Chain A
Amino acid sequence: MTAAGQTATGVALRISDVGMRFGGLWALSEVSFDVEHGSVVGLIGPNGSGKTTLMNVVSGVYKPTTGSVTYDGRRIADVPTHAVCHLGIARTFQVVKPFASLTVRENVAVGAMYGRYGGKRSTRASFERAQELLEIVGLARVAERAASDLTIPDRKRLEVAKALALDPDVLLLDEVMAGLNATEVEEALELLRDVNRRGVTLIVVEHLMKAIVSISTTIIVLAEGRKIAQGAPADVLASPQVIEAYLGSRWVKRQEQLRIIEADREVAARVQPPEAGA
């Protein structure tokens, strides 16, 4: 890797030729892309396309069958799960995993104690950091409640707060907006933008297309375990391959027919200008 690649604006994560096999099934194959420092990468794809598997590979929970994920040049597969966050990579889980008998604040404080800068924090400082984060994600009002008592949207917020408590450079967010209403989604997006502005690179898996488009700098589309598109949101969404993957080939064919009809009408209109234009 060149010296230029190591600057803060260079490549943070390099996913090269990653394949992941479960029994006879390849959940991922030949997936490669780079994630730039400071960017927001949206990861989309139909159900079962391998998004969560990819998140698990990137965060070191799974060791990829082929290929590798490197972070600032280090192979993540070589790092034990508990040390991944010390590299500066944190993630949330689609199925949230709070420590049920601890309070919300204690849950976040555990992250602050053992995360990347945890070694430098006292217990007290960890609780102070946890309180700050709870205010940022909007959970300060339930800080003393048992984590098992939280509503689903609040549990998602708690997941984000726990991940942020690890002081990450790269944050992987697995469907943190699922189940939120329109206002809550807006709030969540604002929070993520704010986190990104502080220099945290985001990889976002989400089903809500509007949310993903509004926040991402790059979008990567997975289908059946393969990367089928990558680029700026508008370009990617216009790609017929992506539309086909999402909405099926019949829909694409129909769109094609509609487009032909449209074009025919246009031609017809040109031949016979409307009366108003005369």
Chain B
Amino acid sequence: MTTTAVLRRIGLGGITGSPIAIAVALALMVVLLAVPFGHNGYLEIVFRNILMYAAMAYGWNLIGGYTGYVSFGQVAFFGAGAYCSAVLSAHGIDNLFADVALACVVNALFAIVVGLPVLRLKGHYFAIATLGIALALSDIVANLDALGASSGLAVHHVDEAHFYVYYYAMWLVALATILGTYFIARSKLGFAFVAIRENEEAAAVLGIDATRYKITAWAISAMMAGAAGAVFAPANGFLDPSIAFSVDSNVFPIVMAILGGAGTVAGPFIGALILAGANELLQRYFIKIHTLFFGAMIVIVVLILPRGLVWLFGLKGGARTWLKSLTAYKA
């Protein structure tokens, strides 16, 4: 078996990735509906965070995984969405639908305005510019008195008995990002994104207006992250720049999407579930060294399944193929 064949088996399986993996992801989503019935506040928050990270990972996946523009700044959109809810709450509007709608509109506009100059950059330069946007926005918010500056502001939330509302809202946001990704990937839009990722010049020759589709991808990804932020803010009850623009919220979704499988439909969810789950368990049993295990886990997975865990689902030839793939990326 040639090297390219091994690589294809481990990393190429159509524009949506393995259908089995998608079915598994959706089945797990259905299972997650049951979490609030356990009446365990801790578990509910853990899984709500998993759903939140998953939604953000899908946002990143669309621009980074599908369109090939690796953004380090998706947390800017998450934070912007969270502050939308905070501002609405400060004006006496406490409605999750309004929160999510405002976050989506604001983020789409934000993404278009920022995207016009920034999406002209490629590769690492784009990555750094987006990181700059996220850090700058965090700094700016930390200095705006109207948004509570660095000391933050309270966001109204429902009483303890109805806390599950936030869980199901986040579940809906996550489901929307999964299904949205699935339908976008299979549509003409998805093919435009992948064509741009594979070769922007060749895509243009085939009639694809790269600027327009890159901005489309970025705006949708911004809405996904923003929606997650809009639900997070009232669920958390309090917002400040270090929470809204945290490094974890920036890095986790990227790691989750890549670990699960960037540019696939099931990858980000599976990545979020495994990573956040492992993080939680490790934190519980190895409180002092859990991040160490976390780091080790990332290193090991990258070395043994560089294109993401999701490809295990579609692996033809099982362990033998996988063993052969191990050396395929070696210099």
Q: Do chains A and B touch in the complex (CB under 8 A)?
A: yes
* B-binding residues in A (CB < 8 A): 59, 61, 80-86, 91, 93, 97-103, 106, 109-111, 113-116, 118, 123, 126, 146, 148-149, 162, 165-166
A110 touches B12 (CB 8 A): no
A113 touches B191 (CB 8 A): yes
> Which residues of B sit under 8 angstroms from A118, Cβ to Cβ?
188, 207
Which of B186, B198, B203 gathers most chain A CB within 10 Å?
B198
Residue in B12, B208, B209 whose CB lies within 8 Å of A101: B12
Which of A91, A113, A118 gathers most chain B CB within 10 Å?
A113
Smallest CB separation, B97 vs chain A (Å): 31
Contact with A along B192-211 (1 / 0, CB 8 A): 10110011011111111110
Prevailing SS type, chain B contact patch: helix
A82 touches B15 (CB 8 A): no
Interface size on B, residues (CB 8 A): 26
Smallest CB separation, B122 vs chain A (Å): 16
Cβ of B5 < 8 Å from any Cβ of A? yes
How far is it, in angstroms, between the C-alpha of A33 and the C-alpha of B15 when the chains are bound? Answer: 44
Smallest CB separation, A119 vs chain B (Å): 9
Contact with A along B161-199 (1 / 0, CB 8 A): 000000000000000000000000011100110110011
A110 touches B4 (CB 8 A): no
Beyond A103-B14, A106-B15, A149-B4, is A97–B188 a contact (Cβ under 8 Å)? Answer: no
Cβ of B8 < 8 Å from any Cβ of A? yes
> Which residues of B sit under 8 angstroms from A86, Cβ to Cβ?
207
How far is it, in angstroms, between the C-alpha of A177 and the C-alpha of B15 when the chains are bound? Answer: 31
How far is it, in angstroms, between the C-alpha of A113 and the C-alpha of B207 when the chains are bound? Answer: 9
> Which residues of B sit under 8 angstroms from A83, Cβ to Cβ?
207, 209
Q: List 28 A-B pairs, Cβ < 8 Å.
A: A59-B205, A81-B201, A81-B204, A82-B207, A82-B210, A83-B207, A83-B209, A85-B205, A97-B199, A97-B201, A99-B195, A99-B203, A100-B198, A101-B11, A101-B12, A110-B192, A113-B188, A113-B191, A115-B206, A115-B207, A118-B188, A118-B207, A123-B191, A126-B188, A146-B12, A148-B4, A149-B5, A149-B8
